[in-house]
Amino acid sequence: MNRWIAIAVGGALGTLARYALGSLIGSRLTSRFPLGTLIINISGSFVLGFFLTLAGEKIHLPMHWRLAVSVGFVGAYTTFSTFEYETFKLLEKGNGFGGLLNIAVSLMLGFLAVWGGIASARSIEARFKTDVSAATESSHVEIVGAPQASSRRGAANTSLESRHANKGMRAHESSAVSE
Mark residue 106 as left, alpha or beta (left: phi above 0; alpha: psi -120 to 50; beta: remaining): alpha
Cβ 71 vs Cβ 7: under 8 Å: yes
Report how many domains make up the chain.
1
Please classify residue 93 by burial: count the beta carbons closer than 10 Å to its beta carbon, then call 0-12 exposed, 13-18 middle and 19+ buried: exposed
Q: Dihedral sign, CA of 62, 66, 67, 68? A: positive
pTM score: 0.62
What is the full per-residue pLDDT of the chain (179 aa) written as tens digits?
Answer: 799 999 999 999 999 999 999 999 989 988 888 889 999 999 999 999 999 888 888 888 889 999 999 999 999 999 887 888 899 999 999 999 999 999 999 999 999 999 999 999 988 865 666 545 445 555 554 445 444 444 444 443 333 333 344 444 444 444 444 33
Q: List the beta strands (DSSP E) in 16-80.
A: 59-60
Q: Which domain holds residue 34?
A: 3-177
Rounded to 10 degrees, the C-alpha dihedral 53/131/150/162 comes to -20
